[in-house]
Chain A
Amino acid sequence: MRRRDSGGSALERARSLSFQFDGRELQGFEGDTLASALLAGGVRLVGRSFKYHRPRGVMSAGSEEPNALVELLRDGVYHPNIRATTQELHMGLQARAQNCWPSARRDVMAVNDWLSPFLGAGFYYKTFMWPRAFWEHLYEPLIRRAAGLGRLPQSHQDAPHEKAFAFCDLLVIGAGPAGLMAALTAARAGADVILAEEDRQMGGRLLSDHGQIDGMPGGTWAAGVVAELASLPNVRLMPRTSVFGAYDGGVYGALERGALHMAAPARTPRECYWRITAKRVVLASGALERPIAHPDNDRPGVMLLGAVASYWQRFAVDPGRVVVFGNNDHALATAKALAADGMDIRAYIDPRDGLATDAPFTVYAGAEVIGTRGRHGLQHVTLRHKGREFRMDADTLALSGGWNPSLHLACHMNGRPVWDDTIAAFIPRPGMVPDMEAIGAAAGQFSTHAALESGARAAAGALDALGLRAPECAFPQAEDAPYAIQPLWQVQGKGRAWLDFANDVTTRDVALAAREGFASVEHMKRYTTQGMAPDQGKSSNMGALAVLADATGGTIAGTGTTTFRPPFVPVSIAALGAGGYGKSFAPERLTTSDAQARAMGAPMIEAGLWYRPSYFPQADDRDWRDACNREALHVRNAVGVCDVSTLGKIDLQGPDAARFLDFVYTNTMSSLKPGRVRYGLMLREDGHVMDDGTCARLGDQHFLITTTTAAAGEVMRHLDFVQQAFCADWAVRLISVTEAWAQFAIAGPLADEVLGHIFGDLPELPFMGCAPVDLGAVAGRLFRISFSGERGYELAVPARYGADLFRQLVALAEGLGGGAYGMEALNVLRIEKGFVTHAEIDGRVTAFDLGLQGMVSPRKDFIGRAASQRAGLTGAARLQLVGLRPVNAQAEITAGAHLYAPDQPARAAFGQGHVKSVCYSPTLQSWLALALVRNGRARRGERLRLDDGLRGIRVDVEICNPVFFDPDGGRMRD
């Protein structure tokens, strides 16, 4: 193989590019694919096959390529399974063959090919059965090492990938003659059109064909149409874009190749994953040529005829001495055209009898190729003609077993295609995907005229459905040659005939599957792995099921196809995950005090997307516990300040607001007086606790409720649902104001002094009271509530003032011997008081379990009431909230540990409950825990064994009141 001196419609010969393959310096041109540049450089062997490590070369010129998968160097890392046939050449490209060691020419694992008699389809099902013990330690590790193709980069990849949305009236998939005609017709009518094409260039087979349209070369006509489309504002051209899946609602997934596959400016995404929503779709994806399963048909140099033509026409690759083996008129016509163009075609071989022999090469009618030779590349072809067998020297054997319409996308919603005897292929049936029409070769119409005609017709239909008028256009003239084919699914002879080149499946494997009972096409596929390689069997599925039909004595139509599933081409996980990793995985919600907390050195922890300070370290701290103890004691002995803005805040207004709250809380809120706050409990419909929080009555018809940080979204959704679904005619409106307010807890015996500095006059506020307050010119809200058990307030200001208020509050607290406290201290303080969080409200607890049954009003209906009264949700059998103290106060205990009677083993059957939260209390100088224990409230004083099997902790604990500190609440109330 070599480069022709002239020609190559895709090439810019003025721009020469140097690149490396397997360490070898090579030259190509701008416009080359890696495959075309390799072929032009005489490189036929590009890799080794998956199972037998057979030498393999480029077979196709498109995304269906089963052989030429290479590893590509990008940013110092090799990326596997890059199809050389779609990889664009650029200056300095480096690639290497994969699945071989030490090189593609000398591959150690080629020993597999010698062992192939023992490695046929399903061999591992039979071989690795015994001895049984070998499976886990020998066979499985061996199989895992051998499995897979290529090797993923072992380092974290953070190169940009993009995810994007697009919408259109008409999505045209494929820019061959049919797609171009459809897009042009629709675009001229003013429809909003997206034309997606896998290749870098639009034109499809017109770029490789010798046919004419309106008296000009097909490629020239295509370029004219593309230029017109590009000039229209209502058309988006998407080259390098494979539409890979059809999904519900007119949504199509598409992969646009970017910086991974071409020279591109820095920060260009490697790939872009598009979600395209289209009202109508025209599937003009063309057809894929079939190879022929003859013995030894897998050598480098054995290619598809269409690919040979494409490399010749577009990339000026001279394939040397060519033998063509076809079974259809299109193959013979192509061979003649190529010969007329100067290709050295030595012979045309066709199993059909009675072919016209007006060709400039020998035509062997009624003949078959029965073998090939050439270790690392084809050297000669053996054929059988009129009972005689003889060899011919050849560099390239071009196969054409007919064409399969590319109907994959039409089948993505589980529609099954129909068999068409005249073209010996499956074609899509109408309506398989709503609002999609397959046209041209994708629908089995192979002449250029039929493609153009079906494109115009489909566009007119789509325009009609869109309410647009099809324009009058002159219809271009093109060939309308009939397509005659005599199916040839396999050639009998010595040696293996490959069906699936990517997974090394032969005709014998398929026949073996049938003999062994795997006779349905889905079973055969799984038994042989045919069609399960990265190419998804694009060039082998049809042949394999035909061989299966033959082996089972059935028809091809009756045998049917396997299921077509997305994606049509491999899509990298990086592309699918674009916009969803790193900082884009989830939004970061930052409080107004975030910068200050970080400046104070606080490690931040995530809570319901929010970032909250864990603790505020100081220089002489030994560990986080020192900081936590200090902060907790600040609150108990002086004053602490904590940002509590992350709690959900929901504003409710309207004449029916109180009635609505009575309906969603277990307790009564309508009796709450303005200026007062009440603790409330909400249940789910199933009677279990959803969330707890406070409810403040700001005015007669105005309430502000809080939720826990984690459940803010869930509660908002719940309230919206209840309002819209059950109380739509009530005069109540609710809206989240979480973001609008920054809110800070000020807690401790000296809290009033901090407020005194802020307000001058301290507002008179009873425990569980609330009032509007002025902070200079800023209107705020003050609540006297406490989650720490100390005298405490929460002060809210509009969010823009949060940063400054926090800074000043911390300074004031520090001046009084206190300071800021973080989540760890907050947790200690609330455990000491037995206040619950979602550690305890784990979705399985009832109000009874938490000891909050007193808050469940018997005098009204509310969400969850009926279900909460079901048998089994109350009583001695329930796990109930209790406190636990280790008998040895300094013995560390852990959350998640299970509880057992002291004399019983740590087995589920003996479980008495489990620990939900623990802390070390610096105030009580003891470890404390909140736990759920079976019938726990009646068992205070009883000893249990806390058993944490994961951490190896076993500690005797005593059940006690969950309110460890200040049980009568005097400190926060008085």
Chain B
Amino acid sequence: MIELTPAPAFAALSLPVTGAGTRIDALPPARITALAPYCGQLQALHALLGGFPEPGQVLELDGLRLVWAGRDLAFAFGEALPTGIEAHAALTDQSDGWAGLSLTGPGAEALLARRLPFDVRRMAVPGAARSLLGHMPVLVIALGRDEFELWLWRSMAACVLHHLTPV
């Protein structure tokens, strides 16, 4: 029987990178489940989870971080999904599809603000946005004014620093 060893998404990059008051580092792999509520199931999902994120929202629930990730879509970061949830929403494992970077420090917000085509400074904390970094789709999570997470497609991880070199 075969045994498989996992490989990190940012293997090709030498992280962390620091500069301009920002530290960019790889986030540890997370358990990410995409939750897409079926029509009319939002109430039931609210009851089951204790909430469901509105556009731009991040909800810190019991053992679970729910991040708005698009139309009728939230990413659940964490293992603790309640049982029976699959009756109300389509669940898809996205843990391996997305690679996360943390951007921290007093310059992090300014760096992201230069690079992202929306006003990062106006993001709620915590808050989330789907956007483009260069041509790459990203999920931006603001955890503090000096603490951000940037989630991008795993296949694009190797070229992310071309767009994020601190100025």
Contact = CB atoms under 8 A, between A and B. Distances in A.
Given A167-B119, A589-B153, A740-B94, A801 B36 contact: no
B95 A798 contact: yes
Contact of B6 (A165, A167, A800): A800
B7 A803 contact: yes
A805 interface: yes
A797 B162 contact: no
Interface string B1-40: 1111111110110000000000000000100001010110
B90 A733 contact: yes
Interface stretch (B47-55, B77-85, B109-117): B109-117
A392 B9 CA distance: 78
A653 B72 CA distance: 14
A284 B97 CA distance: 49
- Residue from A165, A580, A591, A736 having most chain B Cβ neighbours under 10 A: A165
B121 A167 contact: yes
Contact of A737 (B89, B97, B155): B97
A739 B154 contact: yes
Interface-central residue, A587, A734, A736, A801, by most chain B CB under 10 Å: A587
Contacts of A797: 4
Given A167-B119, A758-B2, A801-B5, A587 B90 contact: no
B162 to A, nearest CB: 5
Interface string B155-167: 1111100110001
A757 B2 contact: yes
Contact of A590 (B89, B134, B155): B155
A803 B154 CA distance: 13
A586 interface: yes
Q: Is the interface of A mostly helix, strand, loop or mixed?
A: mixed
Contact of A588 (B11, B93, B116, B158): B158
B1 to A, nearest CB: 5
A467 interface: no
Given A164-B115, A800-B6, A589 B92 contact: no
B158 to A, nearest CB: 5
A655 B12 CA distance: 42
Contacts of B167: 162, 268-269
B136 interface: yes
A757 B39 CA distance: 45
Contact of B39 (A587, A651, A729): A729
B136 A735 contact: no
Nearest to B135: A587
Contact of B114 (A165, A587, A653, A735): A165
Contacts of A778: 4
Given A165-B117, A166-B113, A588 B94 contact: no
Contacts of A654: 38, 90
A583 interface: yes
A724 B5 CA distance: 40
B140 to A, nearest CB: 13
B136 A587 contact: yes
A753 to B, nearest CB: 14
A589 B156 contact: yes
Contacts of B90: 651, 653-654, 733-735
Interface string A794-806: 0001111111110
Contact of A799 (B96, B119, B163): B96
Contacts of B97: 736-740, 799
Contact of B115 (A165, A582, A735, A740): A165
A129 interface: no
Contacts of A655: 38
A847 to B, nearest CB: 30
Interface string B54-86: 000000000000000001110000000000000
A740 B39 contact: no
Contact of B89 (A733, A800, A801): A733
A776 B1 CA distance: 7
A917 interface: no
B135 A730 contact: no
A737 B156 contact: no
B94 A737 contact: yes
B13 to A, nearest CB: 12
A803 B36 CA distance: 30
A606 to B, nearest CB: 13
A735 B73 contact: yes
Nearest to A653: B90
Nearest to A167: B119
Contact of B96 (A275, A595, A740): A740
Contacts of B9: 800
A760 interface: yes
Contacts of B3: 776
A741 B136 CA distance: 19
A778 B36 CA distance: 25
B2 A735 contact: no
Contacts of A805: 2, 4
A592 interface: yes
Contacts of B154: 739-740, 799
A583 B160 CA distance: 10
B148 interface: no
Interface string A640-656: 00000000000101110
13 contacts: A165-B116, A584-B163, A587-B135, A588-B158, A595-B11, A724-B71, A735-B90, A737-B92, A775-B4, A776-B1, A778-B4, A798-B95, A800-B29
Interface of A: 162, 164-167, 268-269, 275, 277, 579-580, 582-584, 586-592, 595, 610, 651, 653-655, 724, 728-731, 733-741, 757-760, 775-776, 778, 797-805, 808
Interface of B: 1-9, 11-12, 29, 34, 36, 38-39, 71-73, 89-98, 113-119, 121-122, 134-136, 153-159, 162-163, 167
Given A165-B117, A584-B163, A651-B90, 16 more contacts: A162-B167, A167-B118, A167-B122, A277-B119, A588-B156, A651-B92, A724-B71, A731-B38, A734-B90, A735-B34, A739-B155, A740-B95, A775-B1, A778-B4, A801-B4, A804-B4
